[in-house]
Amino acid sequence: MQTIHSAAYTLLRRHGMTTIFGNPGSNELPFLKSFPQDFRYILGLHEGAVVGMADGYALASGKPAFVNLHAAAGTGNGMGALTNSWYSHSPLVITAGQQVRPMIGVEAMLANVDAVQLPKPLVKWSYEPANAQDVPRALSQAIHYANTTPKAPVYLSIPYDDWDAPCPPGVEHLFERQVQVAGTPDAAQLQALIKQLDQARNPVLVLGPEVDATLGNAHAAALADKLRLPVWIAPSASRCPFPTRHPSFRGVLPAAIAGISKTLAGHDLILVVGAPVFRYHQFAPGDYLPAGARLLHITSDPQEAARAPMGDALIGDIAATLRALAEGVAQQARSYPEALPAPQPMADEPRHLRPETLFDVLDAVAPEDAIYVKESTSTTSAFWQRMNLRHPGSYYFPAAGGLGFGLPAAVGVQLAQPQRRVIALIGDGSANYGITALWTAAQYRVPVVFVILKNGTYGALRWFAGVLKAEDAPGLDVPGLDFCAIAEGYGVKAVHTDTRAGFEAALRAALDANEPTVIEVPTVTIEPH
C-alpha cells in the first residue's frame, strides 16, 4: 500500500527536488523518517538561515527549492528571511509540520492555530489540506504554483499524522503532470514596442533582476548594441542583468523618486524590463518621470504592472521579449554613450583597508565566473564601479533589504552551482543575522569564501542617520566582534588580515581550498551612494 509519505517523496523526486533544507522539530519527524538515500538533507541551525540557504539555492538553480520548517515557531523564525524571497521571486516550497488533527482544535503544544494565515502576505499561496488524502495533490499544486510565473514562495501546513495514511486512488497521475507558461507578446504588441524604440530620439534601457533570472542577459546586451543606448540597472539591485564592462553600462539607479528623474533627464523613452517601476527606498519626492519622457514597462508580474504609478506595461516572458526586440529593432548609427571614468586606486589607512581595495583584488584574482553574494550594504556603489561581472547568475543581494540573507544564501548558491566559486561579501553588522550558516558550510564542506568587511558599525545606517539628521541615535555601532573566533567555533577555517598583500594571499589560499574559509578584514566606513 502506498502511503502519503511515499507518494510525497515520489513526487519530489519526479520534480528533481531531492535537496531538503530544514530544521526539524517533533512535528516534522514523521515526514523525515525512512529518509530516502537519493535525497540529501541540509540542516540549518536556525530557520532564518534555512530559508536563506534555500533562497540562494532556488535563485542560483532556477528551480523550486524545498523547505521543511517546524510548525508556527519555526515558520515565524523563517519569515524575516521570507521577505527577501518574496521580492526576489524565489520559487520556495515551504512545508511545516502541524500537530495531529485531533489536537489542533484544543490548541495543544506545537499546534499552528491559524496556519494558513501565518506566512501571509509573504507567500502567494498558503494551504492546510482538509484531510490526509489531499496532501499529495496539495504538494503537487505547491510545486507547480511556486514555479509558475511570477515565481514566489508557497506554504503548506501538514498534520504529522497524515504521513502514514493511505493514498487516494489516482495519485499516480500527479507524478507525470507538467505545467508550462507561454507568455510571449503577440506580433502586434511587439511591432508597437519596436516602432517606439526605433523612433525614440534618446531612449534609455533600465534592467531588473528578472532579466538575469530568465537568462536574458545576452538579449539585453544585443538590444543595447543595436540601439546604442545607455543601460542602467534598476534601483535596489538584487541581481546583475547586464555585463558591467559593456560600453552601454551606466551603473545602478538611485532608489529615490527625485534621484531617478534627475538621472534619466533628457531621455524621451524609458524602457524598463524585468523590474518594478520602481523599488524606491529613501524618501525624496519629485516627479516620477523627467519632463518629456514616456515609460514602457515589461514584466512577468501582474502586481508589478498594476501598482506602477506611471507608464504603460506589458506582462510577458522577459527573455523571449528581449530576444524579439533585439532581433526586430533597426541598427542605429549613433555612438555608444561616453565611456565612464575609470575608478582610481584608493589609499588605505593603517590596519584598515578601503572596500575599494578589496574589490580591486577580487576583480583581479577571483575566477571570471565567480558568483558574489553581497550583504555589505554601505559598499554597494563601490562594488558596481569596480567589479567586472560578465556571466549570468553572478550577483545576489537581499531583494527586500532584509539582513541575514548573505551568509546562508551563499551556502545555498554554492550547493546549486558547485562548478563555480562563490564569494560572500558580508558586513560585520549583517553577518550576525545568519551566522549559524557557517556551521552548515563546515559540516557539508561547502567551499564558500566568506569575506567579512569589519568596520565596527552599521555602515548604511550611519549614512541614513546623516540623511535623517539622527546622528545621535543609539545602536549604530557593533564593536567587540571577533569573526575568526566565531568561525573557528563553528568549524570554519578563518584568517584575519589588514593589508592588501595579506588579503590577496588569503583569498588565493581560500580559492585553492575545498572547504569554507572566513577572511576577516578591518575596513574603512564609506557611504553607499
Catalogue the active-site residues: 25-26, 28, 47, 70, 281, 401
Dihedral angle at the C-alpha atoms of 449, 451, 452, 454, nearest 10 degrees? 160
Question: Measured between alpha carbons, how far is 503 from 498 in angstroms, rounded to an integer?
Answer: 7
**Beta-strand relationship, 269-273 and 493-496:** unpaired
Are residues 129 and 95 in contact, defined by beta-carbon separation less than 8 angstroms?
A: no
Strand stretches in 363-432, DSSP E: 371-375, 395-396, 422-427
Cell of 9: 517523496
Which residue is it, cell 524604440? 197
CA separation, residue 159 to residues 93, 129, 166, 380 (Å) = 16, 9, 14, 44
Yes or no: say if 428 and 476 are a contact pair by the CB < 8 Å rule.
no
Q: What angle, rounded to 10 degrees, do the helices at 318-328 and 187-199 form?
A: 60
- Integer Cα distance of 343 and 37 in angstroms: 51
83-to-122, 400, 428 alpha-carbon distances in Å: 6, 6, 21
Dmax over CA atoms of the chain, in Å, equals: 74
- Cα–Cα distance for residue pair 437/443, rounded to 1 Å: 10
Contacts of 457 (CB under 8 A, 6+ apart): 429, 476, 477, 478, 525
Can you tell me the distance from the alpha carbon of 86 to that of 513, in angstroms, rounded to the nearest whole number? Answer: 34
Helix (H, G, I), strand (E, B) or coil at 104: helix
User: What is the phi/psi pair of residue 338, to 5°?
Assistant: -55, 135
Q: Which residue in the block uniquely carries the three cell numbers 482538509?
A: 130
